[in-house]
A and B are shown apart, each in its own frame.
Chain A
């Protein structure tokens, strides 16, 4: 008979943890790349289609805002379960790293969109006026004035978003996504393996701290006065 609880010896932990950390970083990295690529234009559109933006379109703004809220209204676990057919369509599977990337991206884009919108809102309105009066095209104004001035805020948003994705990747462990979350659930929770449980918790804490501290550092460096 198998013992109910087996604690993995300390010496074997690195063999379990290191590949899991790698998978987690991969999930979060790929997700964040897509999130930044798609969430930034969403945030720019949200900001500039609003009253006082570069191309005010109240109806478009309301529609974008509604869709964005939709993406943010479901708890991640529910979202993940509800879009399984979509995930299968996209990556051909509902388990594994890639299957986790789909719901993480779906949750991450509207989140980052709002963060970008907020960061742009923090930029004084005069910056846009100055850029327009200096003869900038819409694209030039967005890139070289709005986003450029908002960069510290954008990096702060990126930090926040990455940490949220780290958390989501752990939740995705429930559907066998791999990574730290999967390890914590399959060993720590289902097998009562206390040493793996403690180790995964410590790894997550350290990862979050590293992301936050480096984010804060970058924000400080990017700010001028």
Chain B
């Protein structure tokens, strides 16, 4: 009796710690402690579960699983590069989904003839878990390997997706009838859910990954919730609900930042059209050298850096921070403008700059930086393109018209660091590059910024 009480109180503590952990994340100063508290709650809940009466054996297997997963987790968390965080998060989603899928499957094997309510939750745990798993693995592969990050569409893709989805639902309905409560129904369900996840993520391009990752976050929340209903554990339900809420909020933020509806992104194929309707471009491109750029920066009293995915690709964050620090030393006001969809996942740029040691209070969102740009001397764009494309603001015929952008062109001078004149992910020409106050500085972002740092040190 007393054991039961202690176990239940432990679960209650875990719920408290998860919620408080999330609450403490509303401020960067308390976030770290919140994470520790949350982890402590998890530890307590795990130990409490191991002490439960109905755990009667299999300890060697449990220990094996814990050690395998734990060691892999430690290694991954220690050695993953901050530029690879999107892959790491995709992988975490994948493992979360597969755990739900497996627990759902095992629960069915252990009690195949359950009531309808339990059966439906088993179906949800398997189906959503499978979709999350397969989808995350594809997302992970797309993030890792640039060559497959393009949207891929099979012939009649949406038609087949619909068939797969309907079949998946049908398999769930079948499972509610006693004569179909057999293993083969579950196998079919697993196969369909994996196929569904695969087909859902394949047509989505690399730059839309922030949305996919957010969406998979919500899916894995639903999978965890469903698993909670299967095993009647409110702890799983609370955790799943937090995750679901998070995924939904982030998905909404990402969609808003791109001014695109969720269906538009999910049904994908964006950027596959050969001629995306772009902004009118014309005029000359003014290309400058590192020395010229140095002269411009040297004279500036305020500088705003606008990083994009290009900064992550060339690992330029440390060099950028060094340049920023040098500018600050000579009394220049330095800020960073972070667009919500810059990079490959929500908050990607913030983490990179934080890694380099940039203070988080000079990282500003689009809405906060835009009013300041008119009074800014120099705006330095590093590997960003679509998020600073003025055709999104000025040209109604542009396919990205209406997407909120960072108004770099309002600054007195814009220096754009870019590998070549190629267009961005959306395949749209960027009028900013042709603007009168824009200077293009071609080359690898990291090498260029390092050269600038060298100039300042001389």
Q: Do A and B bind each other?
A: no
Chain A residues within CB distance 8 Å of chain B = none
Chain B residues within CB distance 8 Å of chain A = none
